[in-house]
Structure 1
Amino acid sequence: MWSTKRRSVSFLNNDPNKEGFAQWMVGLQTEAAAAGISHRTLERALADIKKPLAKVIDVDRKQPEFTQTVQDYVSTRISGYRIKDGRKMKRRYPIWLGRVEDRHGVQRRFILALWGIETNYGRHTGNFPVIEALVSLSYDGRRSDYFRRELLEALRIVDAGHIPLKHMKGSWAGAMGQCQFMPSVFCAYAVDAEGDGRIDIWHSVPDVLASGANFLAASGWKNDQTWGRPVKLPKGFDTSLVGLEKRLPLPKWQALGVRRVDGRALPRRNLDASLLLPDGPGSQAYLVYDNFRVLRVWNKSNAFALAVGLLSDQLAKGK
């Protein structure tokens, strides 16, 4: 759950001096202790960190510009093996998917699709030590306030005993576990589905499924709707109607000549929808509903939301 867009770089705390870093760590420990983090957790989590992780700082400063088309982004993520594996997971966890679906009101195909797009069903969760990565980003200064808040939340997670420190791994930016929650999102939305007193989005599939669904539900998910659909536009269509900020009911889009990609009429429901042309005029068009906007709360990227929606459509098919 981490959007990577290039930003301007500052070097407020780019201090290679070990003494400077050590002083900064003392201030961090004082703040964390005042926030209620136990001395034992602070000792275990921070005592061995002597300097920022250079690789984390390097990755943060050298994020590439996003040049891939949305169509390419989507096609590389909705591969045959990802569809096949998603259907396998649907067969493997029918009871837990049913429980999560009933409790949180989110269709299982979307829960599976998020799991698949984020970490390929738990295979690629990141191998950076989360505390150390967040210390490095907090110290660096480029977005220190944001990452310092996330660091304190990460320390709370360890302090609560949800995950052993050595298992608290994630992305270079601190996104954790099989649903790639930042620590603040974990603290707000992660769920102990198994009822064992711990929330483990690293190893417990029930906790992963329930946590993802809980986030979507809290963000306004509507379980009587889908995300949207690819559509076909008539020749000479007025592209001034394109954009998430513009909404029209489906009957109006139908009257304007918009059709499903196979030429059939649009659904008759009076749902508001927005029209997207993510790769510009002449590219694949999509009508998207409110649930598409909820997917963008998870990750503020049209490409990400489209990939999740289209993969969910594939997972709804077959067994």
Structure 2
Amino acid sequence: MRHLSILLALAGTPALAQTAPCGGDFESFKAGLVQEAPGYGVPAETAQAFLAGVSRDESVIAADRQQGVFQLDFVEFSRRLISQNRIDNGARFSSQYDATFDRIAQQYGVPRGILLAFWAFETDYGQVQGDFNTANALVTLAHDCRRPELFRPQVFAAMALYGRGDLDPATTTGAWAGEIGQVQMLPGDILENGVDGDGDGHVTLKTSAEDALMSGANVLRSLGWRPNEPWLQEVLVPETLDWAATGLDQPRPAAEWAAMGVQARTGQLSDLPASLLLPVGRRGPAFLAYPNFAVLFEWNESFVYVTTAAYFATRLEGAPVFANADAFKAGLTGQEMQALQGLLVERGYDVGGVDGILGEMTRAAVQAEQRRLGMPADAWPTRDLLDALE
């Protein structure tokens, strides 16, 4: 999980002064955290004990800077992440934890396909949970000045977990960004939404699938998941569609999409409002994204990751492989995407960073320029668009 919101409850407490927001001497930074910890409800002696053996981990910084996999397009990304083995294991674990998934559906309204998809992508159903020291990772990222405001609160959350005996700074390991357990939750999420699913009196996300799945469902519920509603549905679209009407920021009643010629590939369209999503443009797979789809971006901010996970969840619940997988026009390389983003920034667009990744902000800018240039405005950047802007 890459949900990086500040989850520590500080109701009624004024903003706390940060003695060392980021950077500088690492040991001095740690000393500043000790001074600040009581304001977060963590005794100074607990903070000092937690930080005693913590060191800066340069491999964490390297991992933070190297996330090139998200430069892949949706079709290629899906093919890499969705294997027959993951589908088969999804069916096996769905059966093995059937009672837990039924309980989750009743209590939280979150379908098993969604949880199975994230469980698979995050840790291969608990088999690969990461071997980065969690305390080192969190303090390193808080000390680093790229995103300290996201990770600093998680350090204090980890201290709180340590104080209650649920995290050992010397031995607890997980992902490079500090997530722990089978569905990769940050310490703040564990504090706020952790659930003892197996009834043993502890929330142990590394070893208990029941705890991990129940906690993941509770996180989604807290983020606004709407019980018993769909999230993503593959559709077929006519070639005459107004492509400028597509995109996550333009929802409309499904009946209106139907009137425009959009058809469900299987089953029936829901009566909920939905956005028409074209991950690789008008010639590739097409989906209606319902309100629950937006909730998934609170779990992970990557457009291609969320779209692939949401699609995989539908596969795990019986949907077929998407259509038009090889019909779309090739996109840009990472270097070309960065060049395009630079040109869009020059024209006044906020693309969220010139990083070579086709996120939702870049897609919106691409669609606006396609509309301006009289091109099919499907938000899929091609060499033709890059040439036109250059």
What is the TM-score when the length of structure 1 is the normalising length?
0.86
SS in 2 for 1:109: helix
Structure 1 residue 311 corresponds to structure 2 residue 312? yes
Q: Residue 209 of structure 2: which of 196, 205, 208 is its match?
A: 205
Mapped to 2, the partners of 1:65 and 1:96 lie a distance apart of: 32
Mapped to 2, the partners of 1:61 and 1:309 lie a distance apart of: 26
Paired position in structure 2 for 1:2: 2
The one-letter amino acid of 2:2's match is: W
Q: CA deviation at 1:24?
A: 2.1
Q: CA deviation at 1:3?
A: 7.8
Asked whether the 8 Å contact 2:22–2:29 carries over to 1, the reply is no
Structure 1 residue 190 corresponds to structure 2 residue 194? yes
Q: CA deviation at 1:229?
A: 1.2
Change (3 A) 1:166 1:222: same
Paired position in structure 2 for 1:173: 177
The one-letter amino acid of 1:22's match is: E
The one-letter amino acid of 1:173's match is: A
Paired position in structure 1 for 2:14: none
Deviations 1:157-202 (A, max 9, x none): 1112223444421111112211111222222222122333321111
Asked whether the 8 Å contact 1:276–1:287 carries over to 2, the reply is yes
Q: Residue 46 of structure 1: which of 47, 51, 69 is its match?
A: 51
Paired position in structure 1 for 2:263: 259
Paired position in structure 1 for 2:273: 272
Q: CA deviation at 1:140?
A: 2.2
Q: CA deviation at 1:309?
A: 2.4
Q: Residue 106 of structure 2: which of 97, 102, 127 is its match?
A: 102
Q: CA deviation at 1:145?
A: 2.9
Pairs within 5 Å for 1:277-288: 277-288=278-289
Greater CA deviation, 56-65 or 24-33? 56-65
Q: CA deviation at 1:37?
A: 2.5
Mapped to 2, the partners of 1:34 and 1:204 lie a distance apart of: 32
Q: Residue 167 of structure 2: which of 130, 147, 163 is its match?
A: 163
The one-letter amino acid of 1:294's match is: V
Q: Residue 243 of structure 1: which of 243, 247, 250 is its match?
A: 247
Greater CA deviation, 194-203 or 117-126? 194-203
Change (3 A) 1:3 1:283: farther
Asked whether the 8 Å contact 1:161–1:198 carries over to 2, the reply is no
- Structure having greater relative contact order (Cα 8 Å, sep ≥ 6): 1
Q: CA deviation at 1:85?
A: 0.4
Greater CA deviation, 249-258 or 217-226? 217-226
Identical positions, percent: 33
Mapped to 2, the partners of 1:62 and 1:80 lie a distance apart of: 27
Asked whether the 8 Å contact 2:158–2:167 carries over to 1, the reply is no
Pairs within 5 Å for 1:14-53: 15=24, 20-38=25-43, 41-49=46-54, 51-53=55-57
Asked whether the 8 Å contact 2:234–2:287 carries over to 1, the reply is yes
Mapped to 2, the partners of 1:138 and 1:302 lie a distance apart of: 25
Paired position in structure 2 for 1:131: 135
Mapped to 2, the partners of 1:302 and 1:27 lie a distance apart of: 36
Asked whether the 8 Å contact 1:273–1:289 carries over to 2, the reply is yes
Greater CA deviation, 224-233 or 82-91? 224-233
Q: CA deviation at 1:244?
A: 1.0
Asked whether the 8 Å contact 1:273–1:290 carries over to 2, the reply is yes
Change (3 A) 1:310 1:64: closer
Paired position in structure 1 for 2:115: 111
